Amino acid sequence: MSLKHAILVQLETKPGSGYDLLQHFKGGLGYFWNAKHQQIYQQLKKLTEQEFITFSLEQQNGKPDKKVYKITELGIKELKRWLSGSVKPNKINDALLVKLYGGHLIEEDNLVNELKCHQQTHEKIYNNLLEIEQTYLNSSLPSREKYKLPYLTLRRGILGEQAWLSWAKEALQMIKK
């Protein structure tokens, strides 16, 4: 049930539309949570009903209208309540590993191709994260201080992807042998 709180956290730092939130969830700093637009719009609706957020309509020229959401006092209270509680360690449900585990039932080429395909995806994400890190590291000291905690989530992404890529290299070598 953290999508709600992931949205609240984002809106607390900066008001935005459902579409804006979606971009964040796709992009780098949204590394920590994934959501599709359908789910985001549904949650925004619920959060509005609960009065944790409000929205104002913004007209744009040449583009559709936007609903710009921002967090309310009540929303900040709820967010603080949630942040003060403890969260459960992340659980891992990785379909690729299920496939590997049962890999003896299929052709080796299939396995190798799948791994290489995933490797490419992870390399892209990794490079993307490194770019964002560079932007952070080149920013001013007060800015770096301000975004210290979000930067830590970025670091989690970077170290996680490094580990994934090391593993993939090792795995490909071992399969080919």
Partner DNA sequence: CCTCCCATGTAAGCCGTTACATGATTGC
Partner DNA sequence: GCAATCATGTAACGGCTTACATGGGAGG
- Note the residues at the interface with DNA (CB under 7 A): 1-4, 17-20, 23, 34-39, 41-42, 44-45, 60, 62-67, 91, 93
Angle between helices 3-13 and 73-84 (to 10 degrees): 120
Determine the Cα angle at 81 with ends 75 and 82, to 5°.
90
- The residues pairing with 55 across neighbouring beta strands, listed in sequence order, are 69
By a kind-dependent CB cut-off of 5 to 8 A, residue 38 interacts, out of a copy of itself, DNA, none, with: DNA
- Residue 5 or 161: the one with the smaller Cβ distance to DNA is 5
Interstrand relation of 53-58 and 66-71 (parallel, antiparallel or unpaired) = antiparallel
Query: Pattern 18-57, binding to a copy of itself, x per CB under 8 A?
Result: -----------x-xxxx-----------------------
Collapsing DSSP states into helix, strand and coil, what is residue 70?
A: strand
If binding is defined by CB under 8 A, does position 106 make contact with a copy of itself?
yes
Distance CA 56, CA 67 (A): 6
CB of 104 to a copy of itself, least distance (A): 6
Question: Taking a C-beta distance cutoff of 8 angstroms, is the pair 16, 9 a contact?
Answer: no
CA dihedral sign of residues 71, 75, 77, 78: negative
Q: Which of 41, 55, 126, 164 binds a copy of itself (CB under 8 A)?
A: 164
* Segment contacting a copy of itself by CB under 8 A, of 40-48, 50-58, 61-69, 77-85: 77-85
Helices (H) and strands (E) in the chain, counts: 8, 2
Side chain identity at residue 51, one-letter code: E
List residues near a copy of itself by CB under 8 A: 2-3, 5-6, 8-9, 12, 29, 31-34, 76, 79-80, 83-84, 86-106, 110, 114, 117-118, 121-122, 148-150, 152-153, 155-156, 159-160, 162-164, 166-167, 170-171, 174-175
